Amino acid sequence: MADTVFVLNGPNLNLLGLREPEIYGSDTLDDIAGRLEDQGRELGLQIDMRQSNHEGHLIDWLHEANALPAKAVILNSGAFTHTSIALYDAIKAIKVPVIEVHLSNPHTRESFRHKSFVGMAAKGTVAGFGALSYTLALDAAAKL
């Protein structure tokens, strides 16, 4: 599984394409998954794309990625980014590198979005490039 990259998506990301397209764009999560799978094939990587609205699922999947071990985790934890010490702890507890990803740039938005517990624990962050943020993060993951 060392050639597998987990792409984990948190709350409300199942609504991409419908939810506030002026902020998050018109691409759906399935659109993004398709592009990542194509890109992954070119890079010799398998993509394991998942989404949950439940914090515990994201934590369990981080543990699973570590146990395999996966090559990397790309994590868009949505609003949990700004609230979840549990995700921070889970990332700190594993050896697999985690790349935080965001469609929008949280630093240009409401002040409560400026703090990222995930970012404090992650290897790096890609934000503000819409769906391209995911492909940039996969490029980075391939080079780790």
Task: Catalogue the active-site residues.
Answer: 24, 102
Is the backbone peptide bond immediately before 21 cis, with ω within 30 degrees of 0? no
Q: Using CB atoms within 10 A of its CB, is residue 54 exposed (0-12), middle (13-18) or buried (19+)? A: exposed
Return the half-sphere exposure (C-beta side, CA atoms, 13 A cut-off) of residue 118: 33
Q: d(Cα 54, Cα 45) in Å, to the nearest integer?
A: 27
Asked if 101 contacts 77 with a C-beta cutoff of 8 angstroms, the reply is no
Q: d(Cα 3, Cα 70) in Å, to the nearest integer?
A: 7
What interhelical angle do 85-93 and 55-67 show, nearest 10? 0
